[in-house]
Amino acid sequence: MHLVAQPVGIRSDIFTALAEIYALQGEKQQTYTAIGQAKDAYPNHPRSDSSYFYADSPVNLLHQAEAEAFLHLHQPRRALEALQASNKEPLTGRGRCEHFIRQAEAGRQCHDLELFRSSLIEGSLLATALGSSHRLQSALQVYNQAPRDWKENAQVKWLSATILSFPERTGKY
């Protein structure tokens, strides 16, 4: 796919969206290609790109989107690498929250209870502090996919009983 006449940052966002669509369809090669195109299209000096502030696309969001695509492809190690790259610049509260929720999903896919537990707790607490029902719902989805015995872990049980059982309490995105 060749896109023209779009500011560089917006092209990067489009390729990022395509990568997620391809990943959801299980199209690995197309996902990898779209991730590469998103990285290639991302501006070298994003703050001087006309679309940077319009699209609100700091580079760490590019890496988080890459991680999301790898999670859809069930490649948690690659997702963790992308999440590590997303930490090179400061994350917003929302970005940190999503980072931890994606990291919890990677932990689940890697069968790493400690990574799952610590990341899900951190992400859920941040979602609560932000008043974000959307992010609490994302955390709940990750929790619901966890193995049954993990849900017996004392801290995971506490999380479920105190935070994840009330995702409807706020209407904020």
Lowest mean pLDDT among 44-48, 54-58, 136-140, 154-158: 54-58
Backbone angles phi, psi at 25, to 5 degrees: -90, -5
**pTM beyond cutoff 0.85:** no
Diameter of the chain measured on Cα atoms: 54
Task: Round the average pLDDT of the chain to a whole number and report it.
Answer: 82
Helix or strand (DSSP H, E) at 92: none
β-sheet bridge partners, residue 55 = none
Contact 43, 89 (CB under 8 A): no
What is the mean pLDDT of the segment spanning 141-161? 93
- Buried (b) or exposed (e) across 138-148, using 16+ Cβ within 10 A? bbbebbeebee
Phi, psi of 6 (to 5 degrees): -120, 145
CA–CA distance from 28 to each of 34, 68, 73, 143 (Å)? 10, 13, 7, 26
Tokens of 158: 């506490």
Six token digits for residue 67: 């991680």
Name the residue with tokens 């195109």.
37
The residues facing 172 across adjacent strands are 132
User: Over 70: is that where the pLDDT of 2 sits?
Assistant: no
- Give residue 63's pLDDT band: very low, low, confident or very high (50, 70, 90): confident
pLDDT (mean) for 72-90 = 91
Residue 170 vs residues 100, 136, 144: alpha-carbon distances, Å: 20, 10, 20
CA dist 78 and 96 (Å) reads: 18
Q: What is the pLDDT of residues 94-139, one digit of tens each?
A: 889 999 999 999 999 999 999 999 999 999 999 999 999 999 999 9
